[in-house]
Amino acid sequence: MISYEQEWQLHQSHKIPAFEGWYFRVVDNQVSAAVIIGIAKTQDKQEAFIQVFHTLCQSMEKVSYDIKDFVYQEEPFSISIKNSIFKKHYIHIEDSKLSTVIDLELDMPLHIQTTKYAPTIMGPFAYLKNMQCNHAIINLESQTHGYMKYQNQIYNIQGIIYQEKDWGNSFPKKYIWVQSNCCLQKKQFYFYRVPQFH
């Protein structure tokens, strides 16, 4: 059975091209923000990166780093890129090239229910090796608190956070992705994702 812990971890791939990214989305009554922390390797370039988008600034910011700046620790799980750090229950995003600082603590992640048929959100496809793109949901929803600083103004965050990740050697050029976890009845989640590879 594929474990939840395995999905969190870095899938060390020596193949090129390869990519892996951890995504989180935080929403409260003031702001919605999304961050991706990841690595990308091609024949021409190997980089670590941080991408940030939020509703106070209608443009995505991305900072690229030398792959050596990506420091991974398996136990306890931790990723750091310069001044930014990502742990299971703590996220801090800060760089002089980013207009935003994000600092969040979060409660215990809510996992999806698993079976032998569907050990992950990918269902039986989770058992296939060498998939071009793999997808994992590592936190359906949990409470988060902290702050976001943008243009010298600090926004106190009291909201919910969702986390997922992707890895492989080719991200779909086209895909349909519909998701909702804002429902009248709590703890209901809906996902529909169809990749189209070319």
Q: Prior bond to 76 cis, omega within 30?
A: yes
Mean pLDDT (the chain, rounded): 86
Of residues 152, 165, 122, 146, the one with CA closest to residue 56 = 152
Q: Prior bond to 195 cis, omega within 30?
A: no
Cα gap 38→79, rounded to integer Å: 9
Cα gap 100→61, rounded to integer Å: 9
- Output the pTM of the full model: 0.86
The larger pLDDT score, comparing residue 63 to residue 57, is at 63
Judge contact between 16 and 42, C-beta under 8 A. yes
Give the pLDDT confidence of 117-167 residue by residue, as tens digits.
Answer: 888 888 888 888 878 888 888 998 899 999 999 999 999 999 999 999 999
- Burial class of residue 154, CB neighbours in 10 A (0-12, 13-18, 19+): exposed
* Full DSSP string of 94-162: --TT-SEEEEEEE-PPPPPP--SS-SSTTGGGGG-SS-SEEEEEEEEEEEEEEEEEETTEEEEEEEEEE
Cα gap 72→106, rounded to integer Å: 20
The larger pLDDT score, comparing residue 140 to residue 170, is at 140
Instruction: Check residue 187 and give its pLDDT.
Output: 52
Question: Is the predicted pLDDT of residue 81 greater than 90, yes or no?
Answer: yes
- What is the three-class DSSP state of 68? helix
Judge contact between 119 and 111, C-beta under 8 A. no
DSSP state of 28: -
DSSP state of 91: E
The larger pLDDT score, comparing residue 99 to residue 129, is at 99
Question: Is the predicted pLDDT of residue 176 greater than 70, yes or no?
Answer: no
Question: Is the predicted pLDDT of residue 13 greater than 70, yes or no?
Answer: yes
